[in-house]
Structures are given as structure tokens and as C-alpha cells.
């Protein structure tokens, strides 16, 4: 790895992008994408179910392929890049983390809701014992004021995390909010600061560069914008803009463009764009991975998915509460039916 890089990119299409395709990755797809990313000089790539290790379930969505096989496939072709995994305590277990490490995963990203870092110490400690680079991943960061975010990030640091991420899971943050939060973390922590964006308000790239300006050096991107909701900061565009700014990512722009066009594009069921429903997610501050779940529930109950998403936002529902989507949809449908009966 080039130690002179100004920004270290973690490619998340093989994890976050799993949401966008209903967790239907095949071994061949993961192997092809991982090989191309490694050849392009991407230093890290995240591979797992969209909801992390152990996420394959009725509640979160069943994977087509067992995730350890996908991780193993990526590791087998990454002679340069390191494979990362996401683990949300309560979904994934320490046994799954051990298994991922045993087959070659080199980075563990331990994800909690932004106010619940205290569920992560044993997982971060284990990751360190396994020799993995360890990241604290504070999801739904838009829901916490700056002082609470700093408090939780300090907890992650105290547990041994090498990096702490501000994670805009809903794509709801505005540039001024990103600036304030990243700046405060940079002033309060001694470890690396990272930023993970979603593009539901068309602000992923702008927010990412505000984060970089304020000292974030670990940045997530998804090639071809393949991620939950309207996707993440688009990796090949990120590399291009970094080059225009004179910042070194160590990633080959042409190779990123080519793999986006020839390898990742055919995987997409439809182009990643800001649709009516993904826009509502950013507007309402709703977890981006809820998109397909809400659309399916809306179809089942014959209601508008926007009504579900707005109500989820009002209730401040967070990742891990996917079961609430059906409950909310049912309530809305019953109210609609009652009003028609009057």
C-alpha cells in the first residue's frame, strides 16, 4: 500500500451495494469486482451482507450466497487490496468475526447506532486480538448533536479502534453539519477520522469533500454509486475529483472507470439515481437500507411508500428495526381503509 496517499478509500459496493440488488451477489460477481478493484489500486474493499456479518435473514433479507464464500472469493484475488467486513453487534457475532478473519479479512468495521457505541468494546477488542485493523462505525450520525457524537467517538477510541467514522446512513446530512462534526472529531481524537456518505439528497460528493477539508482521511465510496438508497459517494468520480484537487488516492482512474462500465454496470438491476423514494429517505432521515423493504411493504398494502418512510422518520426508527416497516405500513393501510369506510 502506498503510505503517501492523502486519502485512503474503502470500496463498499460489495457490502452496501448488496442492499441495492436484494443481497443477490454471486461468487463470480464478487471475484470479478474484487480482482478489478485490487488491480486498480483500491486499498480496502468491504465484503458482507448489506447488514454485515450474520445479516442474511428473513428480517434483513436472505443472501443468495453464503457470505463467507463471498469473503473468501474476494480474498483469493486481492493481492494488493485488503478485504474488510462490517459487523453490527446484535446481528453479527464474534464467532462470525473469527471466521471472517480466519479466511483472510484484514479489517473489521464495528457498526453501532450513533448513541450506542458502548455495545462495541468486546467486538473491537476481539478484532484487535485477531490482528485486524479496526474501525468504529457510528451509523445514523445525523441523529446525534456534536457533543454526543464526540462522546461516542471517544468511546470507540478508548476501546482500541484505529479509525472512527461519521456515517450518514440516511443521506440526510447537510455540508455545514458534516463540517461541524468532522472538525469536532478531529479536534477531540488522536486516531483517524472517516466519512461514509449516502446520496439521497444529492450531497454525497459535496459532503465527502467537506469531510476531507476538515481532516477526514478515510473515505468510503461505491463504484457506479452501487449502495443502499440512492447509493454512496461514487468511487470513480471521487478518484477523479481528488486528482483535480491534487490529492493522492493511489487509485488508477482509468481502471476504475473501466471496471465501473464493464463489470459493475451489468450487475445493477437499474441505474442508481435519486428516485422519489430515496429522496424522501434523505428528507426524512431514514436508514438507506430500508428502501426496498418499504417499497415491498407499500406494494403489499397498496399504499404510497413515501408515507411509510415519512412515518419511520417521525418515529426515529434506526437500523435493526426493519420489523417496524411492516407494522407502520399496516397501520397506514388500516387508517386509509377506515377513512374510506366513513
234 and 329 housed in the same domain = no
Closest-CA residue to 254 (of 262, 246, 4):
262
Does 196 count as an annotated binding residue?
A: yes
149 belongs to a structural domain: yes
- Give pLDDT tens digits for 156-186: 999 999 999 999 999 999 999 999 999 999 9
72 and 219 housed in the same domain = yes
Final residue before a domain boundary, out of 267, 296, 318: 267
* Contact assessment for residue 168 and residue 197, using Cβ atoms and an 8 Å cutoff: yes
Mean pLDDT, rounded, for 2-28:
93
- Taking the C-alpha atoms of residue 260 and residue 93, their distance in angstroms, rounded to an integer, is 33
Q: Is the pLDDT of residue 37 over 80?
A: yes
184 and 281 housed in the same domain = no
Final residue before a domain boundary, out of 211, 235, 267: 267
229 and 207 housed in the same domain = yes
1 belongs to a structural domain: no
292 belongs to a structural domain: yes
214 and 286 housed in the same domain = no
- Taking the C-alpha atoms of residue 303 and residue 311, their distance in angstroms, rounded to an integer, is 13
244 and 304 housed in the same domain = no
* Contact assessment for residue 108 and residue 97, using Cβ atoms and an 8 Å cutoff: yes
Burial class (CB in 10 A: 0-12, 13-18, 19+), 163: buried
- Taking the C-alpha atoms of residue 122 and residue 270, their distance in angstroms, rounded to an integer, is 40
Neighbour tally for 335: CB within 10 Å: 12
220 belongs to a structural domain: yes
Q: What is the predicted pLDDT for the residue at 58?
A: 87
- Give pLDDT tens digits for 272-285: 999 999 999 999 99
Final residue before a domain boundary, out of 267, 291, 319: 267
Does 15 count as an annotated binding residue?
A: yes
Domain at 133, CATH number: 3.20.20.70
89 and 169 housed in the same domain = yes
- Give pLDDT tens digits for 308-325: 999 999 999 887 788 899
169 belongs to a structural domain: yes
Q: What is the predicted pLDDT for the residue at 1?
A: 45
3 belongs to a structural domain: no
Phi then psi for 319, rounded to 5 degrees? -55, 135
Does 31 count as an annotated binding residue?
A: no
243 and 308 housed in the same domain = no
254 belongs to a structural domain: yes
Q: Which of 19, 23, 113, 293 is catalytic?
A: 19
314 and 262 housed in the same domain = no
3 pLDDT tier (thresholds 50, 70, 90): low
Residue numbers of the domain that contains 282:
276-341
228 pLDDT tier (thresholds 50, 70, 90): very high
Catalytic (active site) residue 19: yes
Distance of alpha carbon 250 from the chain centroid? 22
Q: Is the pLDDT of residue 247 over 90?
A: yes
20 and 87 housed in the same domain = yes
Does 198 count as an annotated binding residue?
A: yes
230 and 293 housed in the same domain = no
186 and 302 housed in the same domain = no
Question: Considering its fold, how many domains does the chain have in total?
Answer: 2
Q: What is the predicted pLDDT for the residue at 2?
A: 45
pTM attached to this predicted model: 0.92
2 belongs to a structural domain: no
- Taking the C-alpha atoms of residue 15 and residue 33, their distance in angstroms, rounded to an integer, is 12
Neighbour tally for 150: CB within 10 Å: 18
**Mean pLDDT rounded to a whole number for the chain:** 95
Residues facing residue 196 across a β-bridge: 167
Domain at 332, CATH number: 1.10.8.60
Amino acid at each position: 500500500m502506498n503510505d503517501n496517499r492523502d486519502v485512503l478509500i474503502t470500496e463498499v459496493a460489495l457490502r452496501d451495494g448488496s442492499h441495492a440488488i436484494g443481497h443477490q451477489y454471486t461468487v463470480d460477481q464478487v471475484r470479478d469486482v474484487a480482482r478489478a478493484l485490487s488491480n486498480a489500486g483500491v486499498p480496502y474493499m468491504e465484503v458482507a451482507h448489506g447488514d454485515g456479518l450474520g445479516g442474511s435473514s428473513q428480517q434483513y433479507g436472505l443472501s443468495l450466497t453464503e457470505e463467507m464464500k463471498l469473503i473468501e472469493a474476494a480474498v483469493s484475488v486481492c493481492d494488493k487490496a485488503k478485504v474488510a467486513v462490517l459487523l453490527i453487534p446484535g446481528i453479527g457475532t464474534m464467532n462470525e468475526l473469527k471466521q471472517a478473519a480466519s479466511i483472510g479479512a484484514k479489517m473489521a468495521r464495528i457498526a453501532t447506532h450513533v448513541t450506542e457505541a458502548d455495545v462495541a468494546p468486546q467486538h473491537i477488542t476481539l478484532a484487535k486480538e485477531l490482528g485486524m485493523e479496526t474501525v468504529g462505525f457510528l451509523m445514523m450520525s445525523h441523529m446525534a448533536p456534536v457533543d454526543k457524537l464526540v462522546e461516542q467517538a471517544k468511546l470507540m477510541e478508548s476501546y482500541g479502534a484505529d479509525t472512527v467514522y461519521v456515517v450518514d446512513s440516511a443521506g440526510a446530512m447537510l455540508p455545514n453539519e458534516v463540517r461541524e462534526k468532522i472538525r469536532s472529531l478531529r479536534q477531540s481524537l488522536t486516531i483517524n477520522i472517516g466519512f461514509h456518505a449516502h446520496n439521497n439528497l444529492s450531497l454525497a460528493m459535496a459532503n465527502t469533500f467537506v469531510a476531507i477539508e476538515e481532516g477526514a482521511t478515510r473515505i468510503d465510496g461505491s463504484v457506479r454509486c452501487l449502495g443502499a438508497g440512492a447509493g454512496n459517494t461514487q468511487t470513480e468520480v471521487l478518484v477523479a475529483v481528488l486528482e483535480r484537487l491534487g490529492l493522492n488516492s493511489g487509485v488508477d482512474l482509468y481502471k476504475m472507470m473501466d471496471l465501473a462500465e464493464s463489470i459493475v454496470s451489468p450487475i445493477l438491476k437499474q441505474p442508481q439515481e435519486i428516485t422519489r423514494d430515496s429522496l424522501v429517505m434523505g428528507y426524512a432521515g431514514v436508514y438507506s437500507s430500508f428502501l426496498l423493504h418499504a417499497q415491498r411493504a407499500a406494494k403489499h398494502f397498496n399504499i404510497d411508500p413515501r408515507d411509510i418512510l415519512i412515518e419511520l422518520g417521525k418515529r426515529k426508527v434506526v437500523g435493526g428495526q426493519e420489523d417496524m416497516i411492516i407494522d407502520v405500513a399496516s397501520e397506514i393501510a388500516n387508517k386509509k381503509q377506515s377513512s374510506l369506510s366513513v
